[in-house]
Each structure stands twice: as structure tokens, then as C-alpha cells.
């Protein structure tokens, strides 16, 4: 099934725009618990409250090969009706991006991926060519350093724009299969509003609420499309580590449910 | 030992600016040969002719966990006097980049890494903070799509510049530990010359000769520093697949030696 359909189905069934970011840090899971075991409990506790899961590959890579095994098992364990977004921020020259796409879509079996735009079209194309898969291009990221380059004002005909706007413009051009979305951080609500205004139908993956400080109401007001959807609101640490004790899974369920309800309040 | 010293020692001892890119594709190695076995033969055949090895993580990731095992074994096998550059083009928000840095430097034990600048300072800082390790920031990449964003003219005080120039400017600012270099493709010789002119002491990692079409003489003329060094010239496919037969290792040795000698001709 196409990523976009799978996402719409999960979002509809669970009445949720919440994505749980599986950024599992072995130092933060309860003692003597393995990463996969922890993820399994989080998935069991939240799968009926989310529209997607998003493992960030970095946290698994930091654990070496055992981490990649935990990642593979985690992805395989996620119920088939919930899409998996590989947060990997890959991007390389064409033949190399093809290898990354094979890793993420064919080997790990993810439904979507985040990619970095710096290398331009041929670095993004191999991902986009998997027309059933989703491709989220980094546009305006949620971190402080986002301003270093993404805010630069660029002289581009016909209309000058900030780099993140030019990236969005290109992403829209590249969206031949309807499978391209953008990553726009909740920590930059004005930029989020601008992107939504200019791309009313683009799917937006929005990190940055919770630990990073983005406000839910403002994010929804600025990010929702005309169907009161079109956004995936990610939360990682706030859900995974809602409790450090044995009740972590129940606490995660409560945090995910509360976030879902709070978001739905503003739809 | 610091990456920069290890590199200078290897380059001096082997009288070489050649880096062999270990972009091993299982479809291109001789029949019935494993990826690690192939890499081992390439390393044995070329280790006295190079200044560095550069495995590109994408090709190993595409093979899944078995690929990561082959990558780890390959890195461990590389002689300790030859630095290993992890071509991974990572970059994420701070706490995530820290996890990527742990993966590449602590787990895989690489001496240097390539990183993508799109997320700005806090995405690069965790790598740079490993002051003994080298960090090559993507500046002007070798692919056709490089023009999409890297060529944009940005209004930055005091002097406007193309995005790749602004990236270079920032990279120079971030180079507090003397461990930051730039990736500049041989396929854009004018841009390479401009970067060298503005940053006379910056270490440049140069892909794009060989299969991608960059010219060696022009690359050297535009890229060398005042000590007739300061560049790492990468070649991957042209060396790895110099022969498709059983003599692949000897053919790789010949290709690496020829490239080394051709480069030294222009120093």
C-alpha cells in the first residue's frame, strides 16, 4: 500500500496526528531492559494512538551491529497498518543515494524516509522513485543551527526567498508521484505558516514540540491543511521517557494519548 | 594520534594523495567472493600506495546487518597507520548528531567523517568536538544536482556569496580545533580554485575524478595548497573495479599506483 494511504488510514482509524519517535537511548531505558524489549512495550502501548512511528537511525547506529539488529526487529514488530518513517536524513550522489534507498526501503522495509537536500535533485531522486514510499525533505529543521544556512536570503528568479523556501519550491517541483513531503520544525512557527500557505497540499512532518519547545496550538494553527490534516506531529523523548520507572509503557501511553487529544482539540 | 598527523604521515610515507573509496557493491565483486574478502584484497594491494581509505556507508547499509559486519571487519582490517574516512554524510539536530558521532568514531573507530551542513552549527559541532578526528563538511559536491542549492547566490553580510562559499566561511569559523576540512568535487574546478584561494590552509577531500569525469591536472592546479599538499583525491570505482576478473587486486594496485604517480607529476 502507498505510504500516503497507509498514513491516512492509520490517522483516520486512530483519530491521531501523533508520530512516536523511537529515538531509544539505552542509557535512558529501565535497568536490564534491552532496546528492542523497550521499543516493543512502547509500540504495544501506543500503536492505537498514533498515525506513524519514526525510529531515528542514529540512536541504533550508536549501538553498533547489535543496535541495527534491534532496529530491524523493532521495524518488523510495528503493526503493518502503521507506517514507519525512517528518520535517517540521508543524501549523497545518485548511485550512493540509490544504495541508501535500498537499505531503508528494501532491507529495513520502512514506508518513508527523511532526506537532506544539500546535494540537490539527483541525491533525492532515487528515494522519490520509490513511488509507493514517502520522502520527507528537510526544509526548516527544528534546531537552533537551522538559521545558519536555511535562513539565508537567496537571489532566485522569479522571486528571491530564504533557502528553506527554495528547498520547498524545488521539493514541490520534484513531487511528480505525490510522495514528497517536508520536514518543518514546530520551533519556527512563522516559517511553518509560510510553508503551509505556499504549499496547501504538502504533507508536513513536524518535529520540535515537547522537549524542543514548540507550542502545539500555534503549530496546528499554522501547519494544518484545509482538511484539518496534512501534518504528522512527532514526539520522541516526551513519550518514551514519560516515566523512568517500571510504569514507563503506561506513562508513554498516557503521554501519547494526551498529546493526541490536545492536538485534536485544535483541529 | 590526531587524524591530521596520521594523514600527513601516511601521505608522506607512501608519497601519495590518493584515497581509495571502498564503495563495494556485492554485484560488482568477482563471483562467490564476499564483500569483506574483496575489501581485504583491495586493502592488501593498495595500502602502501594511499594516504587514506574511505568506505561509503551506503553500500554496506544496503546489505543490511551482514553489510555492517563486513564494514566493521573492513575498518578493523585497515592498517593502523592509514586513516579511515567514514563517508556517511550525516547531520541531524545536536543530540542526534552526537549519536552519529559515537557510531562513527567510537563504535566503528573511524578517523574522520563527512557531514552535511544543512542543519547548521549544532549538527556539526558534536563531530568537531572529537578534536582528534577529522570532519569534512560537504561544500561543493561532485554531482550534477550540486547546482540546485549550492550555487544559489546568498545575501550575507559583509559579502554576498554562493551557498557553498557561505558553507566554507562557516566551516572555517567552526574550525577551532584545526580538524575541519571541506568536500569539494573535482567536477567543479573553478569552485575548487575559489575555495583554495580563500582558504589556503584548509584540508580538501576531493571526489569526482575518474568515473565522474574530473580532470587530474586541473584538480591539482586548483586544489593544492602552498606545500603542494592539502588535498585528498578520492577514487572508488576506477580502482575497485579496474578488472572484473580474478586479477582484480593486481589491477586495483596498478590503477592506484598510476593515479598516485599521475597526481605526483603535477605537485
What would the mean pLDDT of B70-82 be, rounded to a whole number? 98
Candidates A2, A40, A72, A89; catalytic one? A89
Local structure of A90: helix, strand or coil: strand
Tell me the pLDDT of chain A averaged across its residues.
97
Stated length of chain A: 267
Active site residue A246: no
Question: Are A62 and B103 inside 8 Å of each other by CB?
Answer: yes
What pLDDT is stored for residue A20 in this prediction?
A: 98
Is there a contact between B49 and B256 (Cβ–Cβ < 8 Å)? yes
Strand segments, DSSP code E, in chain A are: 18-22, 52-55, 85-90, 112-115, 134-140, 153-154, 161-162, 180-184, 203-206, 231-235
Across the interface, whether the CB atoms of B91 and A116 are under 8 A apart is answered yes
Angstrom CA distances, B18 to A103, A113, B263, stand at 29, 34, 8
Under an 8 A CB cutoff, do B116 and A118 touch? Answer: yes
- Of B168, B218, B172, B214, nearest to B193 by C-alpha is B218
Where is average pLDDT lowest: A88-102, A210-224, B162-176?
A: A210-224
Question: What mean pLDDT comes out for the span A35-56?
Answer: 98
Which tens digits make up the pLDDT trace of B184-229?
999 999 999 999 999 999 999 999 998 788 899 999 999 999 999 9
pLDDT of amino acid A39 = 98
The reported pLDDT for the residue numbered B158 is 87
A91–B89 C-beta distance less than 8 A: yes
In chain A, positions 136-155, which contact chain B (CB-CB < 8 Å)?
138, 141-150, 152-155
Residue of chain A with shortest Cα separation from B170: A148
How would residue A158 be classed by pLDDT, with cut points 50, 70 and 90?
Answer: confident
Phi, psi of B206 (to 5 degrees): -120, 105
pLDDT tens profile A177-212: 999 999 999 999 999 999 999 999 999 999 999 878
pLDDT of residue B212: 81
B69 touching A, CB under 8 A?
A: yes
Tally the domains of chain B: 1
* The overall pTM is greater than 0.95: yes
Name every residue whose Cβ is closer than 8 Å to that of residue A131 and which is 6 or more positions away in sequence.
A2, A177, A179
For residue A247, the enclosing domain spans: 3-265
Which residues are B61's β-sheet partners?
none
Active-site residue identified among B89, B170, B228, B262: B89
Interface size between A and B, measured as CB pairs under 8 A: 190
Q: What are the tens digits of pLDDT across the range B92-142?
A: 999 999 999 999 999 999 999 999 999 999 999 999 999 999 999 999 999
Q: CA B35, CA B27: separation in Å to the nearest integer?
A: 10
Nearest CB partner across the interface for B116, out of A91, A106, A144: A91
A24 reaches B (C-beta below 8 A) = no
CATH number of the domain within which B213 lies? 3.20.20.70
B157/A contact by beta carbon, under 8 A: no
Task: Provide the shortest C-alpha distance from residue A227 to chain B (in Å).
Answer: 30
Q: Above 90 in pLDDT, residue B66?
A: yes
Measured between CB atoms, does A66 come within 8 Å of chain B? no
Report percent pLDDT > 90 for chain B.
Answer: 96
Buried b (16+ CB within 10 A) or exposed e, A82-111: bbbbbbbbbbbbbbbbbbbbbbbbebbebb
**CA dihedral angle for residue B95, residue B100, residue B102, residue B106, rounded to 10 degrees:** -170
**CB-CB contact of B87 with B54 (8 Å):** yes
Q: In A, residues 195-214, which contact B (CB 8 Å cutoff)?
A: 207, 212
Binning pLDDT at 50, 70 and 90, where does residue A147 land? Answer: very high
DSSP assignment letter at A132: T
Residue B238, all three cell numbers: 576506477
HEC per residue, chain B: CCHHHHHHHHHHHCCCCEEEEECCCHHHCCCCCCHHHHHHHHHHHHCCCCCEEEEEHHHHHCCHHHHHHHHHHHHHHCCCCCCEEEEEEECCCHHHHHHHHHHHHHHCCCCEEEECCCCCHHHHHHHHCCCCCEEEEEEECCCCCHHHHHCCEECCCCCCEEHHHHHHHHHHHHCCCCCEEEEECCCCHHHHHHHHHHCCCCEEEECCEHHHCECHHHHHHHHCCCCCCCEEEEECHHHHCCCCCCCHHHHHHHHHHHHHHHHHHCC
Residue A262 scores a pLDDT above 80: yes
What average pLDDT score do residues A116-145 get?
98
Cell of residue B94, nine digits: 545536536
Mean pLDDT, residues B29-35 taken together: 94
Q: What would the mean pLDDT of B81-101 be, rounded to a whole number?
A: 98
On whether any CB of chain A is under 8 Å from the CB of B123, the answer is yes
Q: Which three cell numbers stand for residue B244?
A: 572484473
**Would you call B59 an interface residue with chain A, using a CB distance cutoff of 8 Å?**
yes
Cell 577514487 maps to which residue? B235
How confident is the model over B225-252, as pLDDT tens digits? Answer: 999 999 999 999 999 999 999 999 999 9
Amino acid at each position: 500500500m502507498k505510504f500516503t494511504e497507509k498514513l491516512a488510514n492509520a490517522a483516520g482509524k486512530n483519530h491521531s496526528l501523533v508520530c512516536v519517535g523511537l529515538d531509544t537511548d539505552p542509557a535512558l531505558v529501565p535497568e536490564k531492559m534491552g532496546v528492542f524489549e523497550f521499543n516493543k512495550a512502547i509500540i504495544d502501548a501506543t500503536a492505537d494512538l498514533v498515525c506513524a512511528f519514526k525510529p531515528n537511525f542514529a540512536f541504533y547506529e550508536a549501538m553498533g551491529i547489535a543496535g541495527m539488529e534491534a532496529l530491524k526487529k523493532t521495524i518488523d514488530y510495528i503493526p503493518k497498518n502503521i507506517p514507519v518513517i525512517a528518520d535517517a536524513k540521508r543524501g549523497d550522489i545518485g548511485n550512493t543515494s540509490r544504495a541508501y534507498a535500498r537499505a531503508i526501503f528494501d532491507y529495513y522495509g520502512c514506508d518513508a524516509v527523511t532526506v537532506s537536500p544539500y546535494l540537490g535533485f539527483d541525491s533525492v531522486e532515487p528515494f522519490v522513485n520509490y513511488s509507493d514510499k514517502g520522502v520527507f525533505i528537510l526544509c526548516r529543521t527544528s534546531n537552533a543551527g537551522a538559521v545558519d544556512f536555511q535562513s539565508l536570503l537567496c537571489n532566485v528568479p522569479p522571486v528571491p526567498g530564504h533557502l528553506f523556501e527554495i528547498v520547498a519550491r524545488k521539493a514541490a517541483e520534484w513531487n511528480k508521484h505525490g510522495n514528497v513531503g517536508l520536514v518543518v520544525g514546530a520551533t519556527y512557527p512563522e516559517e511553518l505558516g509560510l510553508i503551509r500557505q505556499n504549499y496547501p497540499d504538502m504533507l508536513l512532518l513536524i518535529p520540535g514540540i515537547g522537549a524542543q519547545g514548540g507550542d502545539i496550538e500555534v503549530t496546528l494553527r499554522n501547519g494544518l491543511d484545509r482538511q484539518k490534516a496534512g501534518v504528522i506531529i512527532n514526539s520522541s523523548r516526551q513519550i518514551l521517557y514519560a516515566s523512568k520507572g517500571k510504569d514507563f509503557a503506561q506513562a508513554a501511553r498516557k503521554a501519547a494519548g494526551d498529546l493526541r487529544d490536545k492536538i485534536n482539540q485544535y483541529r
